[in-house]
Structure 1
Amino acid sequence: MSSALPQSQPKVGPNDILRFLLELFAFVSLGIWGFLSFPLPWPGVLVGLGAPLLAVLAWALFLSPKSVFRIDVFGRALVEIVIFTTVAIAWWMLGQPIVAIVFAVVAAVSGILHGRSQLAD
């Protein structure tokens, strides 16, 4: 009879779910911005696919739980701020200031809550 050690499950709170949804919204938003802001086929396709891919790459390299580069909390916050600010500007450029402002406020509040929890650990 083998005794299984209890596995510690990662704690997933409401802000973690919100942050995941913000990430997905950011990646999709950058694709929409690229396709709608640049003429098709080539500039629009390149930017429409390239902008979200660059954001995903930055997220994977610096912000994901299994990131390639380990940076401190402030560096992680800076990368996140750059990505989310870019998304808010993209929505503003698309003529959707309400979406831009709501996204920026929600992302900022979520980021502040996440940062406080990271500093407390």
Structure 2
Amino acid sequence: MTAPHRPRTFGILNDLLAFVLEVFALLTLALWGYRPGGGLIGGVLLGTAAAAAAALLWGAFAAPKARYEVPLPAVLAVKAVVFGAAALALAGLGLRPQACWFAVIVLVNTALVTYYRSRGSRA
């Protein structure tokens, strides 16, 4: 008897949601860093640096085709840092309920993606 596989549609939708959450996290960090009237450093550079740092960290360790292969706990730690920073950025922007919802959705999605990828059931 073989292990049950997740339906193909579920896998595609869950992976798509993971991608959307990753992009949303980067945009949130950029928006948080940008301060209207903050000048070049307090505005554009901080927003760009926050998003770029998260993108570089993600691409190096947490992306499906990451530059460096690290153990699963390290991947999850990077995801926690990036998504946690995005949730805190949302809260810092005065969007506390949205920050909570974002964190819950990220937690469920990451748990599902991690579970299915660790099972090797990429249907």
Q: Partners of 1:85 and 1:119 in 2: how far apart?
A: 23
Q: Which residue of structure 2 lines up, in the alignment, with residue 8 of structure 1?
A: none
Could you say which structure has the greater relative contact order, defined with CA pairs below 8 angstroms and 6 or more residues apart?
2
Normalization by structure 1: what TM-score? 0.84
For residues 18-51 of structure 1, the C-alpha deviation after alignment (integer angstroms, 9 at most, x for no partner) is: 0000011011111100003882232222211100
- The CA distance in 2 between the partners of 1:38 and 1:118, in whole Å, is 45
Aligned residues: 111
Q: CA RMSD in A?
A: 1.7
Q: Which of 1 and 2 has greater Rg?
A: 1
Q: Is the 8 A contact 1:35 1:44 kept in 2?
A: yes
Q: Which runs of 5+ in 1 are unaligned?
A: 1-10
Gaps of 5+ in 2: 1-7
Residue 98 (1) aligns with residue 97 (2): yes
Does the 8 A contact of 2:35 with 2:42 survive in 1? no
Runs of 4+ in structure 1 deviating by more than 4 angstroms, as ranges, are none
Work out whether residues 91 and 100 of structure 1, in 8 Å CA contact, stay in contact via their aligned partners in 2. yes
Identity across the alignment (%): 32
Deviation of 1:58 (Å) = 0.8
